[in-house]
Structure 1
Amino acid sequence: MLSEQSFELIELVAKLGSFTSAANHLNKVPSAISYAVKQIEDELGVELFERHHRSVSLTPAGEHFVHQAKSVMQSIIGLKQSTQAVNKGWRPKIAIALDGIVREDGISFLVREFYKTFSDVELHIHREQVNGCWQALNEQRCDIAIGAASNIPVGGPFEHKDLGELRWQFVVSAQHPLTVETHITAEMLQEYAGVCVSDTAADYPETRLGLAQGQRALSVPDWIRAINCVKDGLAVGCLPRHLITPFLQNGSLVNKPCDLNIADTRALLVWNRNVQNEAMRWLIDYLNNDQRLVNSWLLPN
């Protein structure tokens, strides 16, 4: 039966070019090496080596075997390491980056169903902002990104699905001086701080959404803080409509016509197609087909 030792022996003989050299390397007699190689060839039903007077060389089948054996050996090593890791308490994991632009309602449903289905796989979920999901995908810090911005072209080993449209509105606090203006110009904005969310993608050009030219920024870590800063009158700015709808309805935020606008964009579900396992396939199928879950990311409360 083919074993790790079989692969190692064939590779050694191929590298040294003779049974005698391989025998000397292993402190065995040449006949033992020749016999072991013949047993492997009999099991495969092919000759791996052409026998010459004092040397051997790989047949085309032998070349194929040695090439594939290297891949198999890597898999065996990986299997050993992962099995040992599991024995020490490690579990396979899938990492999900959740863009700050999407609501978190769907996460609880996703986690509940996933952990019901898989008892031996961990979910690691973390927040990214602005272009952070793309950097996390490219650096393989996540396998799936929910809400990634569509303004970056989708390339590399990634597939994607459109989650929906992101609509932006310029808003101020109900008590802000700008509420009396019928239209807010870029010049008026110079007097007030503009709120923006810090981009977690350190390797991308800095993106500061919703600032007028020359306007002073108030940079915050997420959209919840951004909304609170505008509600408290500390700043003004363009905010995602699906997150501010309740505050527009209760009057704590006021939508105003403004020269400053952010173009409506699309939010994407993106995943790495090179990550192939049962848990990953389940997640992609779940996210693609559960309309209630998909709607929970972008629809207003």
Structure 2
Amino acid sequence: MFSNQDLVVIDTVARRGSFSAAADELHKVPSAISYTVKSIENKLNVVLFKRLHRKVQLTPAGDYFVEQARLLLKQMDDIKFQTQRVANGWQSSVSIALDNVVREASVNQLVKDFYDEFPDVELLLTMEVFNGVWDALADGRADIAIGATASVPIAGNISYRAMGSLSWDFVVSADHELAAYSEPLKESELISYPCICLDDSSRKLPKRTTWLLDNQRRLVVPNWHSAEQCFIAGLGIGIMPSHRSRPLVEKGVLIERTLLKPHPNSPCCLAWNNDSLNPAVIWLLNYLGDSEKLHAEWLC
């Protein structure tokens, strides 16, 4: 019903208080301003301005219309700006899938530094488990995946950067029966105790478990916070990432034990979808650094 220029005229007349002052600002003749205002009033079938001797005054309907017109003008400017940004490779948000093994302190620092650099781009974080990280990347729910473990199980235009290996410790509660067993522990000595396992958050890719004996019962939990509480309470046994288990072992609430068949380290990586590259994603990839920095800040 109204063009951008129509709304600009109404806003200018309201601000300047007369057709002639608005005409000066917009580099038009007063009769053109008067004609535009009258045309809009005819479309609305209302009077927006009271015509006085040398000035105009908004009516109550005019007050409301000017308020809404200014909102529309701002929205138009925002649409134009955001469209230009998208055309230049920007987007309004960046999504990161984090494997539950990564250090939370590094997550907090990343968020702070990102928002300092990009105050008008949203950062969307999801915490995933095992193949859930790859699933989020493959399904387009994430632009970047941090701490993805095991081999790359997805195809597509995906690149990755090694983060080094994640080491695991077999731990039990300080009060657990196995704390008194001689080492190394055999599978026959472990099978009767539930294994504390994280629930793989993958929606489409096959789910996996890091460590589980054949025919062993599971105690499935959603994240490592829950797993730690179950370990401490002696509700089960299993392996934990070394950087999470060490503080609990030092406190004396968990005990590390040696297995006859130790669990191997897990290669981890930073992965990203090349189809999602934009200035914010490129900044993040540079910010996260090389393999050595990634390993030191996220897995140790």
> Could you tell me the TM-score, scaled by structure 2's length?
0.66
| Residues 90-169 of structure 1: pairs in structure 2 closer than 5 A | 92-153=92-153, 155-169=155-169
Aligned runs of 1:1-301 on 2, under 5 Å?
83=83, 92-153=92-153, 155-182=155-182, 183-259=184-260, 261-288=262-289, 295-299=296-300
- Partner Cα distance (2:262, 2:292) in 1: 30
Per-residue CA deviations over 1:151-192 (Å, capped at 9, x if unaligned) read: 235642111111121111111111101111113221222221
Contact 1:195/1:210 (<8 A) preserved: no
Q: Secondary structure of the equivalent of 2:275?
A: coil
Aligned equivalents of 2:106 and 2:258: distance in 1? Answer: 32
In the superposition, relative to structure 1, how do residues 115 and 155 fare at CA in structure 2: closer, same or farther (>3 Å)? same
Query: Residues 94-120 of structure 1: CA distance to partner in whole angstroms, max 9, x if unpaired?
Result: 000010011111122211121111122
Partner of 1:274: helix, strand, or coil? helix
Deviation for aligned residue 1:202: 2.7
Deviation (angstroms), 1:258: 2.0
Aligned residue type for 1:229: C
Equivalent pair of 1:128/1:200 in contact (CA under 8 Å): yes
- Which stretch of structure 1 is more off in the superposition, 178-187 or 121-130? 178-187
Q: What residue ranges of structure 1 are gaps of 5+ in the alignment?
A: 1-78
Alpha carbons 2:166, 2:267 under 8 Å: kept: yes
Indicate the SS of the match to 2:109: helix
Give aligned pairs, total: 216
Change in CA separation of 1:194 and 1:144 when aligned onto 2, cut-off 3 Å: same
Rounded to whole Å, the distance in 1 between the matches of 2:282 and 2:191 is: 50
Q: How far apart in 2 are the matches of 1:144 and 1:122?
A: 14
Q: Give ranges in structure 2 of 5+ residues lacking alignment.
A: 1-78
Does the CA-based 8 Å contact 1:129-1:199 persist in structure 2?
Answer: yes
Q: Output the CA distance in 2 between the equivalents of 1:259 and 1:221.
A: 28
Distance 2:229 2:143 in 1: 31
- RMSD between aligned residues: 2.4
Which residue of the partner structure matches residue 52 of structure 1? none
| Alpha-carbon distance in 1 for matches of 2:291, 2:153 | 26
Distance 1:153 1:252 in 2: 36
Query: What's the % identity of the aligned pairs?
Result: 37
Secondary structure, aligned partner of 1:115:
helix
Moved more, 243-252 or 125-134: 243-252
In structure 2, distance between residues paired with 1:290 and 1:212: 32
Residue 206 of structure 1 aligns to a residue in which SS? coil
d(CA) in 2 for partners of 1:175 and 1:266?
A: 32
